[in-house]
Amino acid sequence: MKKTEIKIYKEILKAEGEWAAKTRESLRKHNILMLNLIGSPGCGKTALLEALLPLLLKKLRCAVLEGDVETARDAERLKDLGIPVSQIITQGTCHLGAQIVNKAVQELPLADLDLIFVENVGNLVCPTEFDIGEAAKLAVLSVTEGEDKPLKYPLLFRKAGAAVLTKIDLLPHLPFDRVKCLEFISQVNGRLPVFEISALKEQGTLTLADWISAFEIG
């Protein structure tokens, strides 16, 4: 027997990247902004959409892709807004893949849209690794999770286009150190805009809606 080394040098996520590029291309053609919401289970992603969409719908035509491991509950919650909402059930997978998102995007009425939100599967780590063709990721962190999360999960905050600190109405009841949290975020990514929001009390939602409306697709 002989031994030899075979050089390969192949990108592992190349296939994923190609699907993401296809999606990006379709979105560009229709001048649609796609935002990818990433955060832990229960951090308030759906509530954030419920609070933001009525504001955004005054100016923009929106749709939502809901990534969920098992149920269609989140999609049900958004249906009353009268916009296209598609459910992508990942059947246990911890993130949305680029190919399945591409299929869901193609099934939307692209000619009649300006903005697509993707609510990724509730998870702070895995979805961050996968480009799905979005213009920007939004890192969603609730004040109930602790101020150290940006340091523990830096990748999301490095890759995000903005961070959203949710449930700030709860601050008076929690030991959460807001200043520390903002410091940690800027330590991980000094260029990241941070929006502090309460979906429940509709605080900070206008500022974020304005930022989204003004977002320039790169």
Ligand X SMILES: Nc1nc2c(ncn2[C@@H]2O[C@H](COP(=O)(O)OP(=O)(O)OP(=O)(O)O)[C@@H](O)[C@H]2O)c(=O)[nH]1
The footprint of ligand X on residues 117-146 (CB under 6 A) is 122
Q: Give how far the C-alpha of residue 136 lies from the chain's centroid of Cα atoms, to the nearest Å.
A: 8
| Both structure tokens of 59 | 């100016």
DSSP-based three-state secondary structure for 165: strand
Distance, in Å, from the CA atom of 127 to the CA atom of 116, rounded to the nearest integer, reads: 17
Roughly how many angstroms between the first and final C-alpha of the chain, as a whole number? Answer: 54
Name the segment binding ligand X (CB under 6 A); options: 41-49, 81-89, 183-191, 209-217.
41-49
Q: How many CB atoms lie within 10 A of CB 36?
A: 28
Contact status: 85 vs Mg ion (CB under 5 A): no
Q: Which of 13, 25, 31, 42 binds ligand X (CB under 6 A)?
A: 42
User: To the nearest whole angstrom, how small is the minimum distance from the Cβ of residue 189 to ligand X?
Assistant: 21
Q: Which of 55, 72, 182, 200 binds ligand X (CB under 6 A)?
A: 200
Name the site residues for ligand X (rule: CB under 6 A): 39, 41-47, 74, 122, 166-167, 169-170, 198-200
Name the site residues for Mg ion (rule: CB under 5 A): 45-46, 74
